[in-house]
Amino acid sequence: MRVMVLVKADENSEKGVMPSEQLLRDMGNFNEQLVKAGIMLAGEGLRPSSNGKRVRFEGTKRTVIDGPFAETKELVAGFWLWQVKSMDEAIEWLKKAPFGGGTEIEVRPVFEAEDFGAEFTPEMREQEERLRKEIESRNQ
């Protein structure tokens, strides 16, 4: 199963405060363990919401909203995409992460093609597979 691991923003990440050299080193070592274990598929940190935009969809209307965004505790500061056997395995790995200071992490399963049932037609499945292969070929 794939899971998205969402690192919640805090006051420092929203101010653009960069992590210490020690935290960067510790995070690099943790990421290396994840990669060697075949867990980590992707992972990145995100710039503060002041650098971002939102697009609100209402019928045919599109409204662009400039950051920063008010609710810091609802924002994401970074993410990982992991391949794990179970949610329990994801949690066990996450407990090893070098976070402290009240950091909050959310882990959510990623939908897989089989989760969508009959509504996800064979043609849609073929399209999905073709697009995944195209993305992989671009990343090589």
Counted residue by residue, the chain has a size of: 140
- 134 and 98 share one domain: no
User: Is 80 exceeded by the pLDDT of residue 73?
Assistant: no
Residue 6 pLDDT level (bands cut at 50, 70, 90): very high
User: Is 80 exceeded by the pLDDT of residue 72?
Assistant: no
- pLDDT for res 89: 98
- pLDDT for res 126: 94
- Please, are residues 55 and 91 in contact by the beta-carbon 8 Å criterion? no
Query: Domain tally for the chain?
Result: 2
- 72 and 128 share one domain: no
Structural domain including 76 reads 2-109
Tell me the mean pLDDT in the region 5-13.
Answer: 93
- 105 and 120 share one domain: no
- 139 and 70 share one domain: no
Alpha-carbon span 114 to 9, nearest angstrom: 32
- 140 and 77 share one domain: no
- 121 and 97 share one domain: no
- 105 and 123 share one domain: no
Q: Three-state SS across 20-49?
A: CHHHHHHHHHHHHHHHHCCCEEEEEECCCH
User: Is 80 exceeded by the pLDDT of residue 38?
Assistant: yes
Residue 133 pLDDT level (bands cut at 50, 70, 90): very high
pLDDT digits (tens, 9 = 90+) for 78-108: 999 999 999 999 999 999 999 988 889 999 9
- 122 and 99 share one domain: no
- 50 and 97 share one domain: yes
- pLDDT for res 140: 80
- 94 and 63 share one domain: yes
- 13 and 46 share one domain: yes
- pLDDT for res 71: 78
Residues 15, 21, 25, 27: what is their CA dihedral angle, to the nearest 10 degrees? -10
CATH of the domain at 8: 3.30.70.1060
Tell me the mean pLDDT in the region 31-53.
Answer: 97
- pLDDT for res 21: 95
- 86 and 128 share one domain: no
Strand-strand pairing, 61-66 and 53-58: antiparallel
User: What is the average pLDDT score of the chain?
Assistant: 94
- Please, are residues 30 and 98 in contact by the beta-carbon 8 Å criterion? yes
